[in-house]
């Protein structure tokens, strides 16, 4: 990230003793202005960083390739959702971690956090500002390819091939819209985890190592723990659906099936608890940002 916060605040600082306080800033920007500055800085950083563009192009190529090669765009919206779900489960965490794993660490390494501490902005506002800026870039990277895929369905869908044609109104763009919203919520949750990582670590190598551990844990580890808990009887049959909300990946998958696939099919056994899954994702998001706020305040 750049030093935009430092340049924004440079002209507002005064020498010790001029106003009787070591950190007095009579013309310093307010908390709201600093928050907007942090968000704007993050957006400019994303715009100037080639890695994010390459990442976005690669992400779009994966989604468009899967949708086109698999032929699901000819079958309809819901078949396309089914084809894209597994790739998104794997790729979205990678992209979200890449967007956030060095966000706050970079500020700390350049000394910008020390500068911000002398101004009327709380640690929570710093974290939320960084998170908001990175979230805009991440959501743009994800939503654009998904909208393009939806447009491909509009152009190439063959009504004769739609496997959900017998269900009136089932295979509709509304269901694909739900899929996009749930994917964005999943991405925001993983981004919050990445922001927490960036605040906890002290160096780039440790950030990479912890990010790798987080990816394995989020994509594989938690699901395996749930399977193991069920196999040994720790998780009962009645609690299994709610327990899936513990894993962000399982919560996302369950929400997609319950809100899109099962709705299109018209019937089927419950595979997840929508309320528990949403609560699980929100708890992961809020807890991660809380950890990040605590970490930079140490």
Distance CA 142, CA 180 (A): 9
| Confidence check: pLDDT of 15 > 60 | no
Contacts of 23 (CB under 8 A, 6+ apart): 118
Summarize pLDDT for 192-211 with one digit per residue, the tens: 999 999 999 888 888 889 98
Q: What is the pLDDT of residue 8?
A: 45
Q: Helix, strand, or coil here: 173?
A: helix
Let me know if 133 is exposed, middle or buried by CB neighbors in 10 A (0-12, 13-18, 19+): buried
Q: What is the pLDDT of residue 30?
A: 62
Spans of all domains in the chain: 30-296
Confidence of residue 159 (pLDDT cuts 50, 70, 90): low
Let me know if 76 is exposed, middle or buried by CB neighbors in 10 A (0-12, 13-18, 19+): buried
Q: What is the pLDDT of residue 31?
A: 67
pTM listed for this prediction: 0.84
Distance CA 227, CA 99 (A): 30
Confidence of residue 5 (pLDDT cuts 50, 70, 90): very low
∠ CA(202), CA(207), CA(208), 5° rounding?
Answer: 150
Q: Is 169 left (phi over 0), alpha (psi -120 to 50) or beta?
A: left
| Confidence check: pLDDT of 34 > 80 | yes
Distance CA 73, CA 162 (A): 10
């Amino acid at each position: 990230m750049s030093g935009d916060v430092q340049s924004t605040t440079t002209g507002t600082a005064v020498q010790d003793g001029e106003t009787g306080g070591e950190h007095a800033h009579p013309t310093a920007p307010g908390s709201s202005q600093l928050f907007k500055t942090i968000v704007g800085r993050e957006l400019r950083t994303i715009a100037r960083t080639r890695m994010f563009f390459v990442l976005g192009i690669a992400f779009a190529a994966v989604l468009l390739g899967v949708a086109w090669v698999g032929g699901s765009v000819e079958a309809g919206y819901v078949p396309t959702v089914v084809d894209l779900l597994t790739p998104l489960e794997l790729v979205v965490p990678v992209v979200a971690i890449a967007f956030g794993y060095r966000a706050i660490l970079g500020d700390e390494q350049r000394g910008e956090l020390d500068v911000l501490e002398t101004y009327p902005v709380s640690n929570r506002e710093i974290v939320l500002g960084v998170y908001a800026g990175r979230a805009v870039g991440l959501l743009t990277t994800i939503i654009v390819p998904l909208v393009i895929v939806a447009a491909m369905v509009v152009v190439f869908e063959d009504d004769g091939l739609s496997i959900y044609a017998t269900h009136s109104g089932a295979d509709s763009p509304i269901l694909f819209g739900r899929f996009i919203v749930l994917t964005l919520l999943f991405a925001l949750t993983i981004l919050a985890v990445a922001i927490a990582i960036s605040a906890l670590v002290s160096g780039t190598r440790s950030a990479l190592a912890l990010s790798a551990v987080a990816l394995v844990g989020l994509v594989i580890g938690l699901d395996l723990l749930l399977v193991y808990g069920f196999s040994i009887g720790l998780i009962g049959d009645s609690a299994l659906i709610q327990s899936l909300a513990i894993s962000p990946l399982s919560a996302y998958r369950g929400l997609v099936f319950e809100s899109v696939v099962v709705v299109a099919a018209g019937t089927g056994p419950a595979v997840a608890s929508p309320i528990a899954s949403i609560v699980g994702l929100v708890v992961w998001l809020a807890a991660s940002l809380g950890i990040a706020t605590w970490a930079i305040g140490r």
